[in-house]
Amino acid sequence: MANTYADLAMLKAPGALNITGTSYDARLLTLLEAASRWIDGYCNRHFYLLQATRRFSGKRMAVAAPGLVRLDSLKIDQNGDGMFETVLSSGDYRLEPANADPTHPWGFPYQRVIAAGGLAERGGFPTGAVAVEITGGWGYREVWEDTGARLNAGQVVTAGATVMSVAGDGEERLSAGQTLRLNTEQVHVAAVTETGVSVRRGVNGTVPSSHLGGSALARFIYPAPVTEACLQLAMRAWQGRGAEGSDVAELCRPPDAVVAGLLAGYRRLVVG
């Protein structure tokens, strides 16, 4: 999995580990990844944006869909044959909470899909263990920031390319560990060098595709307390390192008060 809730430049900055050079970059990225997955487990949710299709039980007037950030399509299986042959229109449902606003920096995910309009008049969603299929984005919120960087004019980045030539005012703001959006594809930055930006293509359920020169690069923005918690965990692990691998072992300890406080508002209770 390629998602880190803080990037390498943040961790190496003077206000954090104050590390120069690239000798430890691979290990520091491993720590950021481990810290991010620790946060996922502690909060019982993930904060990266996953494009996926998920299926749920029908409950007539409401379907529980925790972590829904963006709904692209909604289908139902009316006769239990597993085919999900009926595509619902936007007038057949509404998303709750209505004030979730997951595309804004203050937003949070939707939790339920409520039958409305003609669907409600027909009795709502079909019942059954797997009766509703939702395709969309899952996570906590979807906020992107234009980095100011663009693919170099004249180049075509093919679907199989792993190094991109980048120019623009935001080139210096790119860092290993960031998740970028290139049109509809998400890519994860593995390294930034003088020869280009090395990336892992088609992450988080998106599909690698070709992109023309001049295409913009936007950076995915995580909730600030989550990013800070990731940095705190990675710094604690690095500073407590000893033998090889013991830095990751540091993440097995319970969170300190600072990390617990940062994540308190993001923990999701799991019942059962």
pLDDT in tens, the chain (272 residues): 579 999 999 999 999 999 999 999 999 999 999 999 999 999 999 999 999 999 999 889 999 999 999 999 999 998 888 899 999 999 999 999 999 999 999 999 999 999 999 999 999 999 888 999 999 999 999 999 999 999 998 889 999 999 999 988 777 889 999 999 999 999 999 999 888 899 999 999 999 999 999 999 999 999 999 999 999 999 998 987 765 555 666 777 788 899 999 999 999 877 54
Burial status of residue 219 (CB atoms within 10 A of its CB: 0-12, 13-18, 19 or more): buried
Q: What is the pLDDT, as a whole number, of residue 241?
A: 72
Note whether residue 19 is domain-resident: no
Question: How many domains would you assign to the chain?
Answer: 1
Is 90 within a domain? yes
* Residues contacting 90, CB < 8 A, separation 6+: none
Residue 201 lies in a domain: no
pLDDT at 80: 85
Q: Is residue 80 part of a domain?
A: yes
> 142: closest CA among 239, 196, 71?
71
The domain of 77 spans: 50-138
In DSSP terms, which residues pair with 125 in a beta bridge? none
At 244 the pLDDT is 56
pLDDT value of residue 1 = 57
Whole-angstrom Cα distance, residue 124 to residue 74? Answer: 13
User: Buried b / exposed e across 110-119, counting CB within 10 Å, b at 16+?
Assistant: bbbbbbbeeb
**Residue 108 counted as domain residue:** yes
Is residue 127 one of the residues assigned to a domain?
yes
99: in domain: yes
Domain contains 123: yes
Per-residue pLDDT at 107: 97
